[in-house]
Amino acid sequence: MPSYAIEGVIPVVDPTAYVHPSAVLIGDVQVGPGCYVGPCASLRGDFGRIVLHEGANIQDGCVMHGFPGHDTVVEVNGHIGHGAVLHSCIVRRDAMVGMNAVVMDDAEIGVQAIVAACAFVPAGMVVPARMLVAGMPAKLRRELSPEEIAWKLEGTRTYQDLARRCHACLREVQPLTALDAGRPALRALQVEPLIALRRKEGVQS
């Protein structure tokens, strides 16, 4: 992947992590074991430190950056959806930031909390553990159910598995000009969207 030192500080990537070749890592970036960093993600450790703890995922198009002297951290099993922006904030263990959400300076997303897609978490906001926040600006909505927390963890495990799959077999190729006979199905772990879980809960209730 494009990886750049600045002032002698070089990014560190654990051998079991997978960083897509189109992602960019600059300076004081630390990517822990089993992490996944998706295509076109930008992790800029040219001011403050960027840290991904074990099993975290940063999906395609995400941006992580921060002010000098301020770390931007995603803790163990943190899950950052497509296109999200994290700036000088911390995402605690097993928490999730949804697609295209923005988490601003000195904000903290609590353990097992979820930030909804497209939410704007303002500077300094502290999201309690196991809470859902949504909106622009983000507001506390409700406590998450055990089923929703389990759903989030299941989704995170699919990205940990994806890191292993990418190490094993992802390679650059030329596209085919027509469908090949006997085209194989992908062997990804099965996980349903959250709306499917809610529909099932509605049927049960």
Kindly state whether residue 178 falls inside one of the protein's structural domains. no
Kindly state whether residue 111 falls inside one of the protein's structural domains. yes
The number of distinct structural domains making up the chain is 1
Kindly state whether residue 180 falls inside one of the protein's structural domains. no
> Three-class SS string for the chain?
CCEECECCECCEECCCCEECCCCEEEEEEEECCCCEECCCCEEEEEEEEEEECCCCEECCCCEEECCCCCCEEECCCCEECCCCEEECCEECCCCEECCCCEECCCCEECCCCEECCCCEECCCCEECCCEEEECCCCEEEEECCHHHHHHHHHHHHHHHHHHHHHHHHCCCCCCCCCCCCCCCCCCCCCCCCHHHHHHHHHHHC
Kindly state whether residue 202 falls inside one of the protein's structural domains. no
Kindly state whether residue 49 falls inside one of the protein's structural domains. yes
Kindly state whether residue 199 falls inside one of the protein's structural domains. no
Domain span holding position 82: 3-143
What tokens were used for 196?
Answer: 């499917």
This prediction's pTM: 0.91
Per cent of the chain over pLDDT 70 is: 97
Give me the average pLDDT of each 10-residue run along the chain (205 residues).
93 98 98 98 97 98 96 98 98 98 98 98 98 97 95 95 95 92 80 72 54
Give the strand pairing for 139-143 and 131-134.
antiparallel
The mean predicted confidence, pLDDT, of the chain is 94
Q: What CATH number is associated with residue 61?
A: 2.160.10.10
What is the structure's pLDDT at 203?
Answer: 46
What is the structure's pLDDT at 205?
Answer: 39
Kindly state whether residue 80 falls inside one of the protein's structural domains. yes
